[in-house]
Amino acid sequence: MIFLGNLLIWAIHIYLWIIVISVAVSWLIAFRVLDTGNPQARNLVSLLKKVTDPVMKPVQKYIPPIGGIDISPIIVIIGLQLLSSLVWHLFMSPPGL
């Protein structure tokens, strides 16, 4: 059970980093540091969207941008941290606590 818990927590943390990278790439595009006319950059953006959209789109449907700033990544990160904590307590804590 500990192995499964560690595996789930590891996957959640990797997904958190993917979200952070996605946000950083979106900022680089907004500030014109990264050009989406470049095929590699376009492929990176496409890959990040494919990975993050299944979780981000439902959150974006209920939480609109505030002042033009999308706060859905913050909400998703908080939710994933709570999920990670839940997995920790379910799989790692000794029985009876």
Q: What confidence tens digit (pLDDT) does each residue in 71-97 have?
A: 999 999 999 999 999 999 999 877 765
Average pLDDT over residues 33-42: 94
The CB-based long-range contact list for 69-75 (8 Å cut-off, 24+ gap) reads 73/19, 73/20, 73/22, 73/23
Backbone angles phi and psi of 94, in degrees to 5: -65, 150
**Gap between the Cα atoms of 20 and 26, Å rounded:** 10
Nearest to 9 by CA among 95, 97, 64, 89: 89
Q: What is the mean pLDDT of the chain?
A: 94
What's this model's pTM, rounded to 2 decimal places? Answer: 0.89
**Gap between the Cα atoms of 69 and 2, Å rounded:** 39
The 3-state DSSP class for residue 69 equals strand
Could you tell me the pLDDT band of residue 61, with boundaries at 50, 70 and 90?
very high
